[in-house]
């Protein structure tokens, strides 16, 4: 798939890297100043700062974190955005971002635990890829394998590390899959080679 068919994916990557760069200048290697102001912190959200559910998804805890998320989003986003078309893919991504954020919030409600990263939304893209496997039977095996393996590896890693928000990952997968289920792929015929 070509990046020219995935402007939303490229835009999300650009925003994440721009915020990461800003964080380096605004407060240390992990962007501590931005994390304090914009991370998903349940106590702050309960106090009315609801936007943190969204802004937290554009922050990352260091170079390795943003690098791995970028690779995952690029690989999955190019295909899923091509398949669904940019407007529908944007809906899938935003729904997954919000459901992942809400799940992370609910799982840590009443605390000051900060959650950051785009992985909830990215997991939603993999969830959408799995749904595509059922919508496009000719590609089912390849799509399910490409989607399920990263989902299982990510959740497995999350369950073995206490500082990972698996609730956010699960919320993202569910939200992305449900949004993809409700939408029709824009290029389904092209993907299976039908006129």
36: in domain: yes
CATH code, domain with 93: 1.20.1540.10
Q: Could you report the per-residue pLDDT of 68-112, keeping only the tens digit for each? A: 999 999 999 999 999 999 999 999 999 999 999 999 999 999 889
* Per-residue DSSP letter, 184: -
21: in domain: yes
What is the domain extent for residue 65?
3-184
190: in domain: no
Averaged over 3-22, what is the pLDDT? 93
Nearest to 183 by CA among 144, 132, 124: 132
Q: How confident is the model at residue 46 (pLDDT cuts 50, 70, 90)?
A: very high
151: in domain: yes
pLDDT at residue 147 in the model: 94
Residue 119 to residue 135: CA distance in whole angstroms = 24
193: in domain: no
| 194, pLDDT greater than 70 | no
pLDDT at residue 1 in the model: 61
195: in domain: no
CA atoms within 13 A on the CB side of 71: 6
pLDDT at residue 195 in the model: 43
Residue 77 to residue 8: CA distance in whole angstroms = 9
Averaged over 34-43, what is the pLDDT? 91
- Alpha-carbon dihedral 15, 21, 24, 27, rounded to 10 degrees: -40
Compute the Cα dihedral for 64, 67, 73, 76 and give only its sign. negative
Which residues does the annotation mark as catalytic? 119, 169
Q: How confident is the model at residue 49 (pLDDT cuts 50, 70, 90)?
A: very high
| 31, pLDDT greater than 60 | no
Total domain count, the chain: 1
């Amino acid at each position: 798939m070509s990046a020219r068919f995935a402007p939303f994916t490229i835009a999300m990557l650009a925003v994440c890297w721009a915020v990461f760069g800003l964080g380096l200048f605004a407060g240390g290697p992990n962007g501590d100043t931005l994390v304090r102001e914009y991370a998903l912190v349940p106590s702050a959200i309960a106090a009315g700062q609801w936007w943190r559910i969204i802004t937290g998804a554009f922050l990352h805890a260091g170079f390795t974190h943003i690098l791995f998320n970028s690779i995952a989003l690029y690989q999955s986003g190019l295909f899923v955005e091509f398949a669904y078309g940019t407007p529908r893919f944007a809906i899938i991504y935003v729904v997954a971002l919000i459901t992942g954020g809400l799940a992370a919030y609910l799982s840590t409600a009443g605390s000051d635990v900060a959650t950051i990263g785009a992985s909830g939304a990215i997991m939603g893209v993999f969830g959408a890829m799995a749904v595509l496997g059922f919508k496009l039977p000719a590609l089912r095996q390849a799509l399910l394998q490409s989607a399920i393996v990263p989902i299982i590896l990510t959740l497995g890693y999350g369950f073995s590390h206490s500082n990972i928000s698996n609730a956010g990952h699960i919320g993202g997968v569910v939200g992305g899959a449900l949004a993809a289920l409700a939408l029709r792929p824009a290029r389904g015929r092209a993907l299976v080679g039908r006129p």
